[in-house]
Copies of this chain bind each other. A is one copy, B any other.
């Protein structure tokens, strides 16, 4: 029996992934049928179902690959770097660079093209990254920690979306700088010095 995966199988899977990528960029995930995918990939119907249980399975498979890539990039980029908790947004630099490298893949996931599955997956991954870097104790207890985590993760997605849709020629480092400054410093730094002192509302004692 063959130790490695059969070359034919590898070729088929690559063709299917490529077809999914192409079609998602063109029509979006939800509007896609299995028929479209196998037509684009030039693959038989039963062949598709021999490899994947449906289009969602194919989608998740591709997502896993990208996730593996990402985790590797994260760990190498931050191997000898400063320890965590030093920079609460430490994930962002490597992440923006990874997005630039796999621009087509990331493009399928944003702007509503990815469907609910992709959206949820990427938000989960990001939330987990942020959670590991955010200091366990926040100043005061006025804002719950998981709220802050979601805030950061979604802000990153916003930056990514804006980057690809509006200014795709920017360098990853440039977008990263804007992202960090806005999330760290907030809006008050941008709207004039006289409002620099934000009002500090009393911490709500009875938050459910």
Q: Are A198 and B169 in contact, CB atoms less than 8 angstroms apart?
A: no
Chain B residues positioned under 8 Å from A155 (CB to CB): 151, 154-155, 158
Q: 1/0 contact trace for A165-186 toward B, CB 8 Å?
A: 0110110001001101111111
Report the Cα distance A116→B186, complex, angstroms.
28
Q: Contacts A143-B181, A146-B162, A158-B154 given: A167-B115 contact, CB under 8 Å?
A: no
Residue with the greatest number of chain B CB neighbours at <10 A, chosen from A155, A174, A185: A185
For chain A, residues 149 to 208, give those with C-beta under 8 angstroms from any C-beta of chain B: 150-152, 154-155, 157-159, 161-162, 166-167, 169-170, 174, 177-178, 180-193, 198, 200-201, 204, 207-208
Which stretch from A39-47, A101-109, A134-142 is at the chain B interface?
A: A134-142
Is A144 in the interface zone, CB < 8 Å from B? yes
Q: Are B150 and A162 in contact, CB atoms less than 8 angstroms apart?
A: yes
Q: Are A177 and B191 in contact, CB atoms less than 8 angstroms apart?
A: no
Is A28 in the interface zone, CB < 8 Å from B? yes
